[in-house]
Structure 1
Amino acid sequence: MTDPPSASTATGPAAPIRVLLVDDQALLRMGFALVLGAEADLEVVGEAGDGRTALEQVAALRPDVVLMDVRMPGMNGIEATARVVAEHPTTRVLILTTFDLDEYAFAALRAGASGFLLKDARPAELVTAIRTVASGDAVVAPRVTRRMLEMFADHLPRTADTPSATGMDPRVAELTPRELEVLRAVAEGLSNAEIAGRLFLSEATVKTHVGRILAKLHVRDRVQAVVLAYETGLVGR
């Protein structure tokens, strides 16, 4: 009788993170593919040179992460990002941009992207960013997120919804006072460790609060939570 497989054999190695490269410059796609191909846990499953082709590739290949350029002919990366997020909620989008304060990249964050990465990022940064996004987190450093939001705050319309009984936007009215404190701190660009120090909490407790905030706000990650904090006026401009 054959012995049952061990746990490691039964489960096997973790499946590689499937990545789709979207950029209208073939040389850039080639460079990214070479970098990612050297990593055992990453697999480039396809490429696209415009947003419409990207949507077709996402539907056919179901990648875990899409590296998405924003400025492309035809359907740009912003529209493509919104479509990917709406139609394929398990696929994460990582925006590729030339400038760290590119308003197109900011618009893509509002459309549902999980962060952005500069095209001249070092290979290690690219690899780390993809792994981070695939794990369900955002790759934009909190302080960078804040600088982007402050730069383009005028493009964020305040909500036209009727305030709740607390005088607060209905989208954040369900948060507890402590959760509101944590959300404001996140929007200020503080890390979990920094929030823990400010509020005299453990990092684990802060992480729990952040998870509950994301669930209550129905957003995918910290980036989207910060955008919402600005949209609702929770954070002053």
Structure 2
Amino acid sequence: MWQVLIVEDDPTTLAFFAEAVSRSDRLVLAAGVGTLAQAKTWLDDPSHKVDVLLTDLGLPDGSGLAGIRHAMARNPACEVLVISMFGDEENVLASIEAGALGYIHKDSTPDDIALTILEMKDGGSPISPMIARRVLAKYRGFREEPPAAAQPVPAAPGGRALSPREHEVLELIARGFSYADIARLKSVSVHTIKSHIKSLYGKLAVSSKSEAVYEATQMGLLRPPGRT
């Protein structure tokens, strides 16, 4: 059962998304709030558990991007979907850069909302081909820049250091890229990427993407969300 926090300032939209979450037997509505301040207060309570943050970006007291960074700093295993409108591609792209894995349109049906959340929890990244293309283009641009001086890769437990390629794959996993996306970015086969992931899972002593991101962040192998 995945715990879902919804942050949406419009009461009608909030009620609609809450009802959609409640319809699934694999999802639990943890809370629904209407402001950034309320979301931060809820997230700061150690008794609250959240697996999924479903957030609007245009909140009355600030940007939902701040809420995304706050949630992921408190719980790196939390996965984020943005509540979006058609034609909002620039904000969606900014939210993905902040750590969101995808978005749900405000005019989605209740069944589509629950399905999108569950697909994300099963390893998917619900973004349109257009948004995916823009994100991939940006990462290709980073890759094509002249390389900076080599930096040492931190070691995993027991001195088992991740290879540079494993560390690159780990960073892309943390950004929400699929195996196919990473393979395209690195110009290798999906089988090769799966081999890297299997190796880094073994070195981190984890068995899932969310565990890998959490453990790597705790060990200093990944920068905490929102920090440069």
Aligned residue pairs, count: 187
If the length of structure 1 is used for normalisation, what is the TM-score? Answer: 0.61
CA distance in 1, matches of 2:72, 2:198: 20
Match of 2:126 in 1: 140
CA contact (8 A) 2:179 2:193 kept: no
CA distance in 2, matches of 1:75, 1:141: 24
CA distance in 2, matches of 1:42, 1:53: 21
Per-residue CA shift, 1:171-217, capped at 9, x if unaligned?
A: 9x9227xx88xx8xxxx99847x97xx96x6x66543445668999x
The CA deviation at 1:161 is 9.3
CA distance in 2, matches of 1:72, 1:57: 16
Per-residue CA shift, 1:131-171, capped at 9, x if unaligned?
A: 23334x342347344234379x5xx9899996136xxx999
If the length of structure 2 is used for normalisation, what is the TM-score? Answer: 0.63
Per-residue CA shift, 1:15-60, capped at 9, x if unaligned?
A: x211111111110111111222121121112111111211222233
SS at 2:101's partner residue?
A: coil
Correspondent of 1:149 among 132, 135, 138:
135
Match of 1:83 in 2: 70
RMSD: 4.3
Match of 2:164 in 1: 174
CA distance in 2, matches of 1:164, 1:134: 36
**Greater relative contact order (Cα 8 A, min sep 6): structure 1 or 2?**
2
CA distance in 1, matches of 2:54, 2:29: 10
Q: Residue 46 in 1 paired to residue 31 in 2?
A: yes
SS at 2:165's partner residue?
A: coil
CA distance in 2, matches of 1:90, 1:27: 29
Q: Counterpart amino acid of 1:207?
A: K
Q: Which moved more, 1:44-53 or 1:122-131?
A: 122-131
- Could you tell me which runs of 5 or more consecutive residues in structure 2 were left unpaired when the two chains were aligned: 154-162, 205-211, 214-228
Identity over aligned pairs, percent: 21
The CA deviation at 1:79 is 0.9
- Could you tell me which runs of 5 or more consecutive residues in structure 1 were left unpaired when the two chains were aligned: 1-15, 221-237
